[in-house]
Structure 1
Amino acid sequence: MEIKIGFVDSPRELSITMEGSQEDLAGRIHDALSQTQGTLDLQDTKGHRFIIRNERIAYVELGKGQARPVGFAGI
């Protein structure tokens, strides 16, 4: 699942690909963002870890939780 995080006072966003269901990730993100001075700690599918201060997050966009097909479709 792809997650996009927008930041306050920045036109750029952070895009992270993570494993898990949309409901589970939404719950984790909501719990973390409910703390004003806390951090959001995420790890992508490649093992990279992202620790983000909650006060700098403007929005979080959760993509669809479906798997992508693998292979060549038109052959």
Structure 2
Amino acid sequence: MEVKIGVQHSPKELVIDSPKSPDEIAAEVAKAMSGSTKDGLLTLVDERGRQVLVPVDRIAYVEIAQADQRRVGFIAGGATG
């Protein structure tokens, strides 16, 4: 799953590829946002095992979507000169 996190006062969003299901990710976000975590952080782990920690009070939005398949290819019929 692809998780996009908008952070307040930051022009870029964080993008994480997670091996978890949308429901698991949503539960982790809800738990962090409800104040159930003692450290005030949303902690997610990406497909490579890297941890991403985001302060809950800085989260603007969280978008959970199916990861895009990377397409590699060539366009037939190149430019004419």
Q: Deviations over 1:14-60 (max 9, x none)?
A: 00000121111111111111119711011100111111110111000
Q: Which residue does the alignment assign to 1:12?
A: 12
Q: Normalized against structure 2, the TM-score is what?
A: 0.73
| Number of corresponding residues | 69
Q: RMSD value over aligned CA atoms?
A: 2.3
What is the CA–CA distance in structure 2 between the aligned matches of 1:4 and 1:18, rounded to whole Å? 10
In the alignment, structure 1 segments of 5+ residues that lack a partner are none
What is the CA–CA distance in structure 2 between the aligned matches of 1:12 and 1:43, rounded to whole Å? 19
Name segments (4+ residues, structure 1) moved above 6 Å.
none
Q: Normalized against structure 1, the TM-score is what?
A: 0.78
Overall identity of the aligned pairs, in %: 37
The structure with the larger Rg is 2
What is the CA–CA distance in structure 1 between the aligned matches of 2:30 and 2:66, rounded to whole Å? 17
In the alignment, structure 2 segments of 5+ residues that lack a partner are 74-81
